[in-house]
Amino acid sequence: MSSLNLDDFTDLIERPDGGTRRDAEERRARQAVPPGALGRLDELGEWLSAAQGAVPVRPVARPRVVVFAGDHGVAELDVSKRPAGSATELVRELVEGASAGAVLARRLDVGVRVVDLSLDCEPDALPKGVEDRRVRRGSGRIDIEDALTLEEAEAAFRAGMAVADEEADSGTDLVVLGDLSVGGTTAAATLIAALCGTDASVVTGRGGDPIDDLAWMRKCAAVRDALRRARPVLGDQLQLLATVGGADLAAATGFLLQCAMRRTPVILDGVVSAAAALVGQRVAFRAPDWWLAGHASGEPAQAKALDRMAMDPLLDQGVRLGGATGGLLALPLVQAAASLAAELPELPELPEPPLES
């Protein structure tokens, strides 16, 4: 039995300040560029102002990338082009600066925090700088067994909460949430299908390195079988994460909810972070007001989850990579919205017309 009471998040998470947002809208109406002329950038600036509780909005000065990493046992079914247990290679590419996400983070001068939750390797095989919060090595094959025990799911969830607290306490003012895994999109698709009441074929995509038709059929069958195991535990979100999620997904869910509680805005990356967000929405319905969808990844499960949360992706460039790549592409857009909202000049007030005698 878990000692974690998820209902507390419903009571503790508040929406971004509505009064501040109205003040930001009024200020925007007084600026030289006509309201609406900047399109969605106006909405982004007002959202960020409400999240900060500040008018004018402050610059996004201390963004941070947080990536949760883990291996998924379902990858043994050849549902990915990468072999099972090889997420360590993806982690190494990011940490050593060779991945697309690493290039963007370097270009944007954003720090990257990589957290190991369930990588299938010896700890000393990881490059220096990877944070050890491992709850187990790899996860169970969700089509036939639980990904985690309930105790492991709680430990991973609490690890994500702790990372969120550490970021908030250090002054991080916006987080780009990413993931690195092999088999993670299969677990994410299962969670999304379960929470949306959708068949496996509707949510099963082809992954960042697109798989062929036979691999897609294997992946679809794995999601279908995992869905049968997920449906009986839909009422318990922690048990759902233990049954068909994984340690990285559980940590991301805890991280997102704690960020919302700490009033830290988050840009979601791809389908894995969208799945964690959808579980988080089921826990606390106000929490998604603190999150932005960075981009459309092309994964049908991500589109389904974002639609359920009424989120429109900021970008749609066909980027299919994980590791926070799409979220980082969206970061300059959010920063630009903040700069425009804060720095555009206000029109001078017109003098009152003279009273007629």
In the predicted structure, residue 355 carries a pLDDT above the cut 90: no
**146 with 238: CB under 8 angstroms?**
no
DSSP code of residue 45: H
What DSSP string describes 214-239?
Answer: HHHHHHHHHHHHHHHHHGGGTT-HHH
The neighbour count for residue 341, using CB atoms within 10 Å, is 24
The answer to whether residue 14 is domain-embedded is: no
Range of the domain at 213: 63-333
Q: Which residues contact 77 (CB under 8 A, 6 or more apart)?
A: 141, 143, 218, 219, 222
Q: Which residues contact 60 (CB under 8 A, 6 or more apart)?
A: 48, 173, 174, 331, 334, 335, 338
Three-state SS string over 165-195 comes to HHHHHCCCCEEEEEEEEECHHHHHHHHHHHH
- In the prediction, which pLDDT does 247 show? 98
Q: Whole-angstrom Cα distance, residue 41 to residue 342?
A: 12
Query: pLDDT, tens digit, for every residue of 286-329?
Result: 999 999 999 999 999 999 999 999 999 999 998 988 899 999 99
Q: Which two tokens stand for residue 72?
A: 């998924």
Query: pLDDT, tens digit, for every residue of 141-175?
Result: 999 999 999 999 999 999 999 999 999 999 999 99
- In the prediction, which pLDDT does 282 show? 97
The answer to whether residue 316 is domain-embedded is: yes
The answer to whether residue 17 is domain-embedded is: no
**303 with 338: CB under 8 angstroms?**
no
Q: pTM for the complete prediction? A: 0.95
The answer to whether residue 95 is domain-embedded is: yes
Given the DSSP bridges, would you call strands 111-118 and 63-71 parallel, antiparallel or unpaired?
parallel
Q: Whole-angstrom Cα distance, residue 208 to residue 319?
A: 8
Give the domain CATH number at 208. Answer: 3.40.50.10210
Q: Using CA atoms of 224, 202, 315, 92 in order, give the dihedral in degrees to the nearest 10.
A: 20
**271 with 278: CB under 8 angstroms?**
no
Q: How many domains does the chain have?
A: 1
For the chain, give the mean pLDDT: 95
In the predicted structure, residue 357 carries a pLDDT above the cut 70: no
Query: pLDDT, tens digit, for every residue of 22-49?
Result: 999 999 999 989 988 999 999 999 999 9
Query: pLDDT, tens digit, for every residue of 82-132?
Result: 999 999 999 999 999 999 999 999 999 999 999 999 999 999 999 999 999
